[in-house]
Structure 1
Amino acid sequence: MNQAHTRAMEALQPFVHLATSTNAASPKFISNLITNATSSPNTYVFGELLETPAIQALRSTDTPAEFQGHLTLLEIFAWGTWQDYQATPNLPPLNAEQTQKLRLLSLLSFSTTINPITYTSLMDALSITAPAELESLVTAAIYSSLITARLSPATSPPTVNVTSVAPLRDVKPQSLSTMIMTLTQWETRCGDVIGDIEAEIANIKANAAKRRANEHARSVLFEKTLADFNNNNHEGGTGSRKHGAWQKGVGGPGGNVGNKREFNADDFDEDDGFWEQAPEGFDGYSGVGSRMDIDEGSGFARMGMGTTGSRHAKRVLGKKS
């Protein structure tokens, strides 16, 4: 419970005690009790006092007319405003303390509906003629912990900016149905919001579970693929080594097959006819020896002995002895 509300309830308790402990109280006693309760500097809630049988007895038709207005006055202090007092006839006059109290309570009600409040609107609602008087009232409300506000007299127009209001007004019985309807609508909206939040949470959980399942499936597939690769590599290792050794042996000492071929003229029974069919004047080979390398590439092409631009394998030729 708010501290200001607690203090106000404690300040009201002596008046509630007087109203409940007095048997067959006269209307004059009850009217004086109402005047004292509304004039007390710390009483801002009056609902508990209103509910006592002694106060409600003023509604009787036997109550003199001069005291009947006190019950209505107490109701205005409980949930009404200064404007309600001004608009209601046959109410008892207010003393200075009651005037200050009702204006403070009216300021609480205005602060919950309008913000910021202009000086002009507040002065009209509270029947205040001077801005200094209004500023004094707002300052008193701030120091009494009724509101938290800031005065802005230099703005155009001057305003009172209220940031918080103490829960010190009683609830009018006629407004209970409206409050119940408002709270019911608020409860429905809260239920809709909670349903949307729960649906979103369920959707997030489902998506997270789906992602985890996909990640697990990818992990299993990767491990299976890696295991198959390792098995295939182990089984094919021996054959690959043999195949590599066979390739190395074919190419001769270097293990590579090139474009050069080596021949020995003594290995053939017949002359290959090169010397008999050599071009005329081609004597440069006689002193070279029985074996020599002849590149049948571009060199022969320049000499007119091969096709231009073609490359042939190099052969080792020799003349039979």
Structure 2
Amino acid sequence: MNPMSMDRDEPSSLLSLSNHSLEQFVLLAKGAKGFACAELIKQVLEAPGVHVFGELLEVPNIKELETGAYATHFRTLNLFAYGTYKDYLENKSEFLELTPVQCKKLQHLTIATLATQEKCIPYSVLLKELDIKNVRDLEDLIIEAIYADIIHGKLDQECKRVEVDVALGRDARLEDATGIADVLADWCNACEAVLNSVDRHIQRANHHKQRAIRHQQVIDQEIVYIKKTLKTQAENDEGGAGGSESHSAPKKSSGKGKTPRSSKFWQKTT
């Protein structure tokens, strides 16, 4: 079976769409306190189109929830910003009990995280990381993630994997900055190496081109010389043939029927 294509029109920025949806919650959080902020967190975790939460985590009123009665709400918001569904399953007591909508959103975000690690994700890995029991439910979840603009790609049902073209960028912790900078530095170095290789190939191609041009010029000159030589030779041959015909000597007569002059000296006189 051929891969099932689920490509969609490439967005200008997956992240910008999520940021735009988050703005209203950031504005509300700036004027809320305590319980109101905790309820706001529950709402944002279920809100469609909101898949990044870093800006909300930076709001002072939200930061105040890190300790106290609503610390669980704060940890759950951190989970959606940086964590995966597997983190939730392994530490359920640390977080709020998620609704089905929130579970699905966290599973979608987990797919986005896995897509940053490898572009072809086997079904076996996804089944384990998302705690899904059968392939049909997994494929439905992946298709939902594609239509939610979490990832863009296609299902390869024959090879049992999802091939990701582009994925939503998730929030990054401050301590991740060094690793991100290293990745970008490696990418820049790789680009520089490719550019240098391209330059060398261009120089080599130009060198071969110049040699080919010079060789062609030599051949063209030889062709011109040969043509001139053949033309001159042909003209000389034509001129020599005409001159020999005009200056040829007349043929001598054979002299048949004539008596030799010397014979009269041998005649007898009477």
Q: Which TM-score applies when normalising by structure 1?
A: 0.61
What does the per-residue CA deviation read over 1:115-149, in whole Å, with 9 as the maximum and x for residues that have no partner? 3432x543432334566654553453344343444
1:104 corresponds in structure 2 to 108
2:74 corresponds in structure 1 to 71
Gaps of at least 5 residues in structure 1 are 254-260, 271-321
Provide the C-alpha distance between the structure 1 equivalents of 2:208 and 2:165, rounded to a whole number of angstroms.
Answer: 44
Shift of 1:7: 3.6
CA pair 69-268 structure 1, distance change in 2 beyond 3 A? farther
- Helix, strand or coil at the partner of 1:17: helix
Amino acid at match of 1:16: V
CA pair 162-193 structure 1, distance change in 2 beyond 3 A? closer
Provide the C-alpha distance between the structure 1 equivalents of 2:225 and 2:19, rounded to a whole number of angstroms.
Answer: 77
For the 8 Å contact 1:2–1:166, the answer to whether it is kept is: no
Tell me how large the CA RMSD over aligned residues is.
3.8
Provide the C-alpha distance between the structure 1 equivalents of 2:27 and 2:131, rounded to a whole number of angstroms.
Answer: 34
1:297 corresponds in structure 2 to none
For the 8 Å contact 1:82–1:126, the answer to whether it is kept is: yes
2:7 corresponds in structure 1 to none
Aligned pair 1:17/2:27, yes or no?
A: yes
- Helix, strand or coil at the partner of 2:162: strand
1:281 corresponds in structure 2 to none
Provide the C-alpha distance between the structure 2 equivalents of 1:162 and 1:197, rounded to a whole number of angstroms.
Answer: 29
Shift of 1:53: 3.0
Shift of 1:100: 2.4
Provide the C-alpha distance between the structure 2 equivalents of 1:124 and 1:224, rounded to a whole number of angstroms.
Answer: 80
Shift of 1:17: 0.8
Provide the C-alpha distance between the structure 2 equivalents of 1:151 and 1:236, rounded to a whole number of angstroms.
Answer: 79
1:180 corresponds in structure 2 to 181
1:210 corresponds in structure 2 to 211
What does the per-residue CA deviation read over 1:192-239, in whole Å, with 9 as the maximum and x for residues that have no partner? 222222222233233333333333344445445655666677689777
Shift of 1:103: 1.9
Shift of 1:77: 0.6
Provide the C-alpha distance between the structure 2 equivalents of 1:109 and 1:15, rounded to a whole number of angstroms.
Answer: 24
- Helix, strand or coil at the partner of 2:198: helix
The alignment-based identity, stated in percent, is 21
2:53 corresponds in structure 1 to 46
Q: Within 5 Å, which residues of 2 pair with 1:57-206?
A: 57-59=64-66, 63-64=67-68, 66-88=69-91, 91-96=94-99, 97-113=101-117, 115-118=120-123, 121-129=125-133, 134=138, 136-147=140-151, 148-150=153-155, 152=157, 159=160, 161-206=162-207
1:308 corresponds in structure 2 to none
CA pair 15-195 structure 1, distance change in 2 beyond 3 A? same
Aligned pair 1:32/2:33, yes or no?
A: no
RCO greater where, 1 or 2, for CA within 8 Å and sep 6 or more? Answer: 2
- Helix, strand or coil at the partner of 2:111: helix
Q: Within 5 Å, which residues of 2 pair with 1:278-317?
A: none
Shift of 1:190: 2.0
Q: Which TM-score applies when normalising by structure 2?
A: 0.70
Amino acid at match of 1:101: K
Report how many residues are paired: 250
Task: Choose between structure 1 and 2: higher helix proportion.
Answer: 2
For the 8 Å contact 1:45–1:170, the answer to whether it is kept is: yes
Provide the C-alpha distance between the structure 1 equivalents of 2:63 and 2:261, rounded to a whole number of angstroms.
Answer: 147
Amino acid at match of 1:174: E
What does the per-residue CA deviation read over 1:174-203, in whole Å, with 9 as the maximum and x for residues that have no partner? 333222222222222222222222222233
For the 8 Å contact 2:88–2:95, the answer to whether it is kept is: no
Amino acid at match of 1:141: A
What does the per-residue CA deviation read over 1:86-135, in whole Å, with 9 as the maximum and x for residues that have no partner? 344752322313222212211332344453432x5434323345666545
CA pair 136-94 structure 1, distance change in 2 beyond 3 A? farther
Provide the C-alpha distance between the structure 2 equivalents of 1:143 and 1:216, rounded to a whole number of angstroms.
Answer: 61
